[in-house]
Amino acid sequence: MQPKYFYRPTFAKVDLNAIKKNILNLKKHISHSVEVIAVVKANAYGHGDLEVANAALNAGASMLAVATPDEAIRLRESGIESPILVLGASSPSFAAVASEKDIMVTVFQKDWFLHIPTLPQKLNVHIKIDTGMGRLGVTTESELSLLLETIHQRQDIMIDGVFTHFATADEEDESQFRQQLEKFKGYLQHFPVKPRCIHAANSAASIVHENSLFDAVRFGISMYGLSPSPYVSNKLPFPLQPALSLLTQVVHVKKVPEGSTISYGATYTTSKDEWIATLPIGYADGMIRGLSGQEVLIQGKRFPIIGRICMDQCMVRLNGQVSIGEPVVLIGRQGSEQITIEEWAQKLQTISYEIPCILTNRVPRVYTQ
């Protein structure tokens, strides 16, 4: 959402055009008949659910996927009319609301249906098959048969789709991926009528495993211009455009003498006269303490964060004086330099996915087309 006001110069810029380009490039890469399901769970991986959903639909995505019922309701109540699928487990108590709001749910337990009354409107479901992810889904073919029987006894439930999820699609070793794909094809044989939408591929599979496309792909991380893994980065058939930049400005600059300490715990001591800038961003914004030592861009050059990161602020060592209000790039490009989300992920020993998700609500998201 566009912020009503913000007087602190810290914000995340989200380039909706980058999101559109990533979708258009994927569509060119996969066959025309394959639909794109835009995965906008977790506030669109921290990018902003409504804005990303609308951009994705404009770029030709035909469906949205979220993790929770509440995420789906938020999209629907904001006027989004496209199909929406809840990927996670929904409580049976959501069924009536889902049918009324035309939200599709993921099902995988026959007993789930025991708990829902006859619905006034049809409920569309996608059946989840666990082929090796070990998270959600039916785990045997007989379980699937019983589930199908239960659903066929109900006039108010329609099977719109069936899907599975790969655990290792972003890795070089394809053995588990192939096993899961073959298992999935085996399960598909049990459907008396082919559901409208069979889907399996996440970003990694849609980019590197042509054999896993079926009717649709679930495009998440790479829609935001991020690679699912370093392995996939080296196999990209088209460039990904990162959509998110994290920006702030210098709010204080000072020259301190040798032997001065900086921030809580006095863990950093200047080794000579040093120029220190204070930035108005801290761990309460998602710039977590593990990012001490990470570099930022000022005037197109890299400077390190020194000392402990505070809740709302942090300090950077400069090589000279800069002005108050000097633009600072924490994630993104400045001049010929770039700091990527992948660089943060490496510094924090995590994956790219986690980085935009940890940027908190206090950081306004500002959209550019």
Ligand X SMILES: *Cc1c(COP(=O)(O)O)cnc(C)c1O
Q: How far is the CB of 346 from ligand X (least distance, A)?
A: 18
Q: Which of residues 153-212 bind ligand X (CB under 6 A)?
A: 165, 202-204
Looking at the Cβ atoms of 74 and 362, the one nearer to ligand X is 74
Three-state DSSP at 37 gives: strand
Three-state DSSP at 264 gives: helix
Q: Which of 36, 75, 85, 221 binds ligand X (CB under 6 A)?
A: 221
Question: Scanning the structure block, which residue is given the tokens 């979220």?
Answer: 66
> Which one is catalytic: 194, 254, 255, 264?
264
Q: Give which of 190, 165, 161, 186 is closest to 176, Cα–Cα.
A: 165
Q: Do residues 18 and 241 lie in contact, with contact meaning Cβ atoms separated by under 8 Å?
A: yes
Q: Which stretch binds ligand X (CB under 6 A): 109-117, 216-224, 230-238, 302-310?
A: 216-224
Q: Which of residues 224-263 bind ligand X (CB under 6 A)?
A: 228
Q: Which of residues 75-94 bind ligand X (CB under 6 A)?
A: 87
**Judged by CB under 6 A, does residue 220 bind ligand X?**
yes
Q: Is residue 27 flagged as an active site residue?
A: no
What is the residue type of 16? Answer: L
**Judged by CB under 6 A, does residue 39 bind ligand X?**
yes
Residue environment code for 174-209, b if the CB has 16+ CB neighbours within 10 A, otherwise e: eebbeebbebbeebbeeeeeebebbbbbbbbbbbbb
Pair of tokens at residue 300? 């197109």
Q: How far is the CB of 160 from ligand X (least distance, A)?
A: 15
| Cβ count near 336 (within 10 Å) | 7
Q: Is residue 128 flagged as an active site residue?
A: no
Three-state DSSP at 100 gives: helix
Q: How far is the CB of 290 from ligand X (least distance, A)?
A: 23
Looking at the Cβ atoms of 219 and 367, the one nearer to ligand X is 219
Interface residues toward ligand X, by CB under 6 A: 39, 41, 87, 165, 202-204, 218-221, 228
Would you please indicate which residues are annotated as catalytic (active-site) residues? 41, 264
